[in-house]
């Protein structure tokens, strides 16, 4: 029994005007059953989105499933299967409709639509390439139980899911996305990082310096995928502002010191400008014992939930701007500046 998650609170209030009130994505295999960490149900480690205290939402791992949820094409499962079997692009399937809409647009909007459709086609091409590669693989896959549309490469998978999120937001298919990029107890190896140590064993480094650096190498590689997403948002314009300017991104971890399973003083990044709600360029250190939920209260207030007073175990709000001292009455213009 937990609480309704932040994304679903936001979706209830501000996501109902979009075709998809929210989307939930993940990278790792989350289809587990029974008991997981600390003898809790695996539901608690399989999703970060809860529509009620007792209703976990499923998360999409396969880029193909995410793509078809966003773009469709084919009114029935049989029609969609036929399109995939013939390797026809989703854009070829709907080209007549696309042409009719395009002819009604002005020059600027036509260029924007063409660029968007090019991006859709490129993402679809990459998904098809992954599927063909995995279906015809001569050697065993690194992720043998993964669907054909899931790349074995962590970075390739992350970038595909990031691109799908940008496409979904660009056309206002949804305004709320959750993305679970890992799980604490996974034993996955990340060869692209430069080390062959599995993630969970590496996290229990026993304060050995070499093992700490191995774990650091893995963590740098994982977090190092984030700039790709930020650049895609920054380079996608909506009117006179980028999607990055209009978006709030919460990027965090449930662990501060995994060697001890220490959940206190866990790191949290807030990225994007959120339509001016986030100042940016700040490193704020919370007093000892401050619940992370205090940050969420402040963030949600800035995102239009002015009536939010509590969330989770919050004890108040945690200011997300620079703590400025009020100007002295005698400071004059220089003081106010």
Question: Are the beta carbons of 146 and 137 closer than 8 angstroms?
Answer: no
pLDDT, residue 77, reads 61
Pairing of strands 177-180, 23-26: parallel
pLDDT, residue 34, reads 66
Q: Which residues contact 78 (CB under 8 A, 6 or more apart)?
A: none
73-113 pLDDT, tens digit per residue, is 555 566 556 655 555 566 665 666 677 777 788 887 888 88
- Planar angle of CA 20, 23, 28, nearest 5 degrees: 160
* Spatial separation of the C-alpha atoms in residues 234 and 250, rounded to whole Å: 16
Distance of alpha carbon 201 from the chain centroid:
25
Question: Are the beta carbons of 25 and 165 closer than 8 angstroms?
Answer: yes
pLDDT, residue 106, reads 83
pLDDT, residue 322, reads 81
pLDDT, residue 254, reads 81
pLDDT, residue 90, reads 64
Q: What is the CA radius of gyration of the chain?
A: 22
**DSSP at 187:** -
Question: Are the beta carbons of 218 and 195 closer than 8 angstroms?
Answer: yes
Q: E-strand spans in 190-254?
A: 237-238, 241-242, 249-252
pLDDT, residue 326, reads 63
* Contacts by residues 68-73 (CB-CB < 8 Å, ≥ 24 positions apart): 69/20, 69/23, 70/20, 70/23, 70/164, 70/167, 70/168, 70/173, 71/120
* Spatial separation of the C-alpha atoms in residues 235 and 142, rounded to whole Å: 33
DSSP alpha helix (H) spans, the chain: 6-14, 43-46, 63-71, 77-85, 90-93, 95-103, 107-135, 154-170, 199-203, 209-223, 226-234, 243-246, 293-302, 332-336
Question: Are the beta carbons of 200 and 34 closer than 8 angstroms?
Answer: no
* Spatial separation of the C-alpha atoms in residues 259 and 251, rounded to whole Å: 21
Q: Is 18 left (phi over 0), alpha (psi -120 to 50) or beta?
A: beta
**DSSP at 122:** H
Closest CA to 284 of 314, 232, 322: 322
Question: Are the beta carbons of 149 and 130 closer than 8 angstroms?
Answer: yes
Closest CA to 154 of 125, 186, 195, 182: 182
Residues of the chain with pLDDT below 70 are 1, 31-34, 73-97, 137-138, 324-337
3-class DSSP state for residue 17?
A: coil
Question: Are the beta carbons of 53 and 3 closer than 8 angstroms?
Answer: yes
pLDDT, residue 71, reads 84
């Amino acid at each position: 029994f937990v609480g309704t998650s932040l994304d679903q609170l936001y979706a209830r209030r501000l996501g109902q005007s979009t075709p998809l009130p929210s989307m939930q994505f993940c990278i790792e295999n989350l289809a587990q059953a029974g008991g997981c960490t600390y003898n809790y149900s695996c539901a608690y480690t399989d999703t970060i989105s809860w529509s009620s205290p007792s209703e976990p939402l499923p998360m999409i791992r396969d880029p193909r499933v995410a793509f078809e949820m966003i773009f469709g094409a084919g009114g029935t499962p049989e029609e969609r299967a036929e399109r995939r079997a013939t390797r026809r692009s989703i854009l070829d399937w709907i080209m007549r409709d696309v042409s009719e809409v395009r002819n009604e647009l002005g020059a600027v909007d036509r260029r924007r639509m063409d660029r968007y459709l090019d991006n859709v086609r490129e993402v679809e091409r990459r998904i098809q390439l992954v599927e063909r590669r995995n279906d015809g693989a001569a050697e065993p896959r690194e992720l043998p139980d993964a669907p054909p549309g899931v790349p074995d490469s962590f970075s390739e998978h992350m970038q595909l899911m990031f691109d799908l999120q940008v496409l979904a937001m660009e056309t206002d298919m949804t305004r709320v996305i959750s993305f679970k990029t890992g799980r604490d107890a996974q034993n996955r190896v990340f060869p692209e990082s430069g080390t062959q140590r599995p993630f969970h064993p590496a996290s229990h480094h026993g304060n050995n310096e070499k093992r700490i650096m191995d774990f650091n190498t893995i963590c740098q590689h994982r977090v190092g995928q984030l700039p790709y997403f930020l650049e895609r948002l920054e380079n996608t314009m909506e009117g006179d502002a980028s999607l990055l300017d209009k978006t709030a991104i919460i990027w965090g971890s449930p662990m501060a010191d995994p060697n001890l399973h220490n959940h206190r003083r866990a790191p949290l990044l807030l990225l994007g400008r959120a339509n001016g709600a986030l100042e940016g360029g700040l490193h704020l250190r919370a007093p000892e014992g401050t619940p992370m939920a205090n940050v969420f209260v402040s963030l949600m207030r800035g995102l239009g939930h002015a009536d939010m007073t509590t969330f989770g175990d919050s004890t108040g709000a945690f200011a997300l701007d620079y703590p400025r001292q009020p100007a002295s009455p005698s400071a004059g213009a220089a003081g106010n500046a």
